[in-house]
Chain A
Amino acid sequence: MIDPKANAAGNLAADRIDLQLIADMVAPGSKVLDIGCGDGTLLELLVKQHGVDARGLELSQSGVNNCVARGLSVVQGNADTDLSYYPDNGFDTVILSQTLQATQRPHDVLREMARIGKRLIVSIPNFGHWRVRLDLLVKGRMPVTGTLNASWYETANIHLCTLTDFTQLCDVLGLSVESCTTLSRGKAKALPGRTTRRANLLAEQGVFVLTRS
């Protein structure tokens, strides 16, 4: 049940502050698809704060049921297989927050997103973060951090990349990076360019706004 007095932003988990950042990047009243919308936190922010016509796609059935019971427009589906059913340019903005790394074919997912949406917002955990690098270098162990908090054998994150890897893939797919905002220790920082070597070392997450070049 939606409590109209509740401020969804106030309930954001510390590791998902990218959601408020993303919500603020979306034009009020626009049509948005959130792929991998989870429990609908971002959708609720979009609907309540920005009056957005927001739809969601979510793999987990319990996540979907929870969303619909809260009045959100969400369908059960898989980012790898179900995006092909959406029409060309059907949405102003298509969002993929912290989901790309869990897809089977990230490049195909991005291609489909670029077909469906005029504008893409993608947030990813940065596998180039210094703690990740240090874990591997010093301990010789697969990194477990606040953002990447599952052991290698049980993680859903099967396609991790660094911010630099991601921008290179965007080049390959013909997507221009309109902006890149990094997140570290709960602080957001807008980069002047696409991304920097420094950001690739210091950022825990990156939030990219992409358009078709």
Chain B
Amino acid sequence: MNATQTQNEDGETVRFDGAALKLDCGVTLETLELAYRTYGTLNKDKSNAILICHALTGDQHPAGDNPLTGKPGWWTQVVGPGGIIDTDKYFVICSNVLGGCGGSTGPQSGNPETGKPYGLDFPVITIADMVRAQNLLIDHLGIESLFCVIGGSMGGMQVLQWAAAHSDRIFSAVPIATSARHSSQNIAFHEVGRQAILADPEWHGGAYYATDAHPRKGLAVARMAAHITYLSEAALQRKFGRNLQDREAISYGFDADFQIESYLRHQGMTFVERFDANSYLYITRAMDYFDIAAENGGNLAAAFNGTATRFCVMSFTSDWLFPTPESVNLVRALNAAGANVSFVEIESDKGHDAFLLDEPEMHATLSGFLQAAAQARGLENGGRDD
């Protein structure tokens, strides 16, 4: 297998050629491209690398500015120089997931057999496939063992997959607001989103790339429905209540009378500017298929038996998409496996999205855990060579 590195305006891309990636579905991707960003410097021992795994609609730009949009990265609260994940100390890596639309191989990539974009000919991928792809990247960067793998939501699923399948390569793991399996309710919400995309005539059976069409309305509705699941009832009430949008009274029509309607419409509209509808189908499917226990005869603990990885599990009180009992279930399995695990439930009314927001208690927890792990790894200098 060959690896070719290219530098782009929005980061780096590595291209693997020659039976690059064998997928769970049985298909082998001959060519795999991964778009990624790195921050900070890898130390001599190559022991200070942290992999950040992004969520469903995230990208490879957690820190600094996103070079494409000019807006701040999605996790600047946590990642950056002097930050909790200090890029002055650690070498931070983040790659766009397999199946994504941020430059990594996905349904909009060229199908080598036809020369046209894959569309629905792209094979169905899993979280394990995403993590296999990340393993290739870590190999390519010459790193044997990561100091930490961190991620929230679908990023947390990738963290757990790393811990279950490649625990010898990760010293510590921080799965946040996540679960070892996608729940029935979560699959249900994803199905609503997918059906909205499939019902949009602009979708053209997934082959919309050759036309000017993009199933904007379907994808926007999918985003609107999903966005509700990322917030809590309390946060919605606090932020919007029953406030009216730019009007004194209700209009007796179906315009966006309420602020919450206007907000959701805005969320939907801006989302379609930055996300590919087919990617949304494939990535939500990967999350639905995720079930670590099922791959171990229904025994979640068996997935982590004998692991030397240090875990820090976090959940949020108002997160009803990945509620605390999911994390408790995971923590019990990790305890049964004899793992070194910390578990904190953070008091917050911000719902699932809390992990992306300013949550001092989460930041204190993450900071304390990383410092103790760095000490245990002999990174007293924080990983720098000086």
Contact B368 A64 (CB under 8 A): no
Tell me if B335 is interfacial: C-beta within 8 Å of chain A: yes
Q: How far is the CA of A40 from the CA of B364 in the complex (A)?
A: 16
Contact B368 A75 (CB under 8 A): no
Q: How far is the CA of A171 from the CA of B331 in the complex (A)?
A: 33
Tell me if B120 is interfacial: C-beta within 8 Å of chain A: no
Q: How many A-B contacts at CB < 8 Å in the complex?
A: 70
Contact A87 B332 (CB under 8 A): no
Tell me if B270 is interfacial: C-beta within 8 Å of chain A: no
Tell me if A190 is interfacial: C-beta within 8 Å of chain B: no
Q: How far is the CA of A58 from the CA of B5 in the complex (A)?
A: 49
Selected interface stretch from A65-73, A119-127, A132-140: A65-73
Contact A68 B312 (CB under 8 A): yes
Q: How far is the CA of A69 from the CA of B367 in the complex (A)?
A: 7
Tell me if B201 is interfacial: C-beta within 8 Å of chain A: no
Chain B residues with Cβ below 8 Å from A75 are 313, 331, 335, 341-343
Interface size class of A (residues with CB under 8 A): 20 to 34
B346-364 contact mask (Cβ, 8 Å, vs A): 1 or 0 = 1100000000000001001
Most buried by A among B313, B337, B338, B347: B338
Q: How far is the CA of A126 from the CA of B364 in the complex (A)?
A: 38
Chain A residues with Cβ below 8 Å from B192 are none
**Nearest residue, chain A, Cβ from B310:** A73
8 Å CB interface, A89-118 against B = 90
Contact B344 A68 (CB under 8 A): yes
Selected interface stretch from B91-99, B153-161, B369-377: B369-377
Contact B341 A73 (CB under 8 A): yes
B residues lining the A interface (CB < 8 Å): 310, 312-313, 331-333, 335-338, 340-347, 361, 364-365, 367-369, 371-373, 375
A-B contact pairs, 17 of them (CB 8 A): A1-B367, A64-B343, A65-B344, A65-B365, A71-B368, A71-B373, A71-B375, A72-B372, A75-B313, A75-B331, A75-B335, A76-B345, A85-B333, A85-B335, A85-B336, A87-B335, A90-B338
Query: Other than the known A68-B342, A71-B375, what 12 A-B pairs have Cβ atoms closer than 8 Å?
Result: A2-B368, A2-B371, A68-B365, A69-B365, A71-B368, A72-B372, A74-B343, A75-B335, A75-B341, A76-B345, A77-B331, A85-B332
